[in-house]
Structure 1
Amino acid sequence: MKITLNNGVQMPALGFGVFQTPPEETVSSVAEALRVGYRLIDTAASYFNEREVGEGIRRSGLDRSEVFIETKLWISDYGYDEALHSFDKSARKLGVDQIDLLLLHQPLTADFEKTIGAYKALEKLLADGRVRAIGVSNFMPEILERLLTETTVVPAVNQVEVHPYFSQPDVQKADSQHGILTQAWSPMGGITSYRGDASRSTFNDPVIGEIADAHGKTPAQVMLRWHLQESRSAIPKSVNPQRIAANFDVFGFELSTEELARIDALDTGVRGGPDPAAVTLEAFHRDIPEA
């Protein structure tokens, strides 16, 4: 299943994420995901495992053209020249000449000029054919509007926290109005399991469990299917081979309109990840090493 981005590039709707996957486990998990059938791999400079993602892709034996590679620049490398250099670092670690989708990982709201400079670098990379599509991550509607007024290319993707307990309808609406694809990180609400009240997790939610039982599927599969049927991209992560396979097995059933609405109604409005407005260089600086 593919989604056509606003610049005509086709991207697999379901991808494989490697957030917090240790480098030593990344190679095998990426290779296993590609063996199962995933063709979109999502990483980031700040995950410190781009090199291992590249090795996992090579180990899969697939041709480079068969794998859609997505990565993100970290705020420590914002600014025009800095972002161009950050692309070079990521491309060399991944072992590729061209990156399919390159995102700004966070808006640096306290120094938005650096954010604009970095995005203009992405526009340059797009124009030069070094990347096939560009976008953003964790951009709230008002920040997205600021970006659009000072740049030329509308982002193809906005990757944000979206799961049944935090669906950000205002963000999704703003993205849709501009033809931007909403891509869900923590798409199954894994963040609800290790932050906040772990006793109330999406994985043991009775509504999701009931829908899963009705289809003979797992809660995780139901949540991923929910994303796909509501026209979002999703990037689940796992290092467990059985879960990697199960998370990809979401194309053989369909949720009803009523079931989708029941899942929509679970939204608590409570964010699991950091507030994008609170992401500053002082609090979140990370040195991104050279390739």
Structure 2
Amino acid sequence: MLEVKDLKKSFGSLTAVDGVNFTIEKGQIMGLIGQNGSGKTTTFRMILKLLNADEGSVSWNDQPFSKEFFDHVGYLPEERGLNQKMTIEHQILYFARLRGKKNSEIEPLIDGWLKEFEVVGERKDKIKSLSKGNQQKVQLICTLIHEPDLIILDEPFSGLDPVNAGLLEEGIRKARDRGASIIFSSHNMNNVEELCDNLVMLKKGRQVLYGTIREIRESFGRTRLFLESSLSKEEIENIDGVESVSGVEEGIYHIQLRDAEVGRQIFDLATRDGYIPTFSQQPPTIEEIFKQIAGEIDE
């Protein structure tokens, strides 16, 4: 279990991180989101002792986190870094040795990992011969192949197409299923919503959201409504408490509510003649919540 308590970090007059608190249990995935410059990478670096926190603490399984735990960590930094002159095999073995693994432990695993991540290249190929996407997959393998207990991924989906992003998602789930504690940052809210148990959002270094995905979404109210009925757009727009109505096509609408309770009124009106194909009232997505909070003016 990773526990972060009241982390703070300043650089001169700039407060980069100001009071971050969260816990990641064994077998859990946490998303860390926020705009560029919100403090995500600084938080990762303080967890790993690459930066010293001004205040606060980080513990792993109830012990102060120290460099002695590094063999049990998988870290993918935002700044990718592979040796272009090395072969795929030597690069993977090099990083594994840094985590206390012997060549004899890792060599038999390499072909399986290359196949799992669908790397286009042979283990004897040099890194520089690979496309950027395949280089990124090799670095992900370097991060995961020693089966770390704590995995920290800084923007792991950056630059990956949907197919390769799916391969990474599957790799993250497998690590979770064997009991790893995982935290990753991403600007793709779909990845966060699909993968994560919990979520932290930072804004200008301050923690503004923390909880399970469901708790956070529900806290904003069920103000999104998808409706398929014979009601006209004008009828819906005239209901007090409806903020906006966008028509996918005639009779199919996306409705934004100011008050979630208005959904009952719309349901009663839409079903006055009986059956309707679709009525789905939902809380906002994580992407919509992100945009709302990011756009709020700080007082």
**Is TM > 0.5 for Structure 1 vs Structure 2?**
no
Larger Rg: 1 or 2? 2
Q: Which has a greater percent of strand? A: 2
Q: Which has a greater percent of helix? A: 1
TM-score (norm 2): 0.34
TM-score (norm 1): 0.35
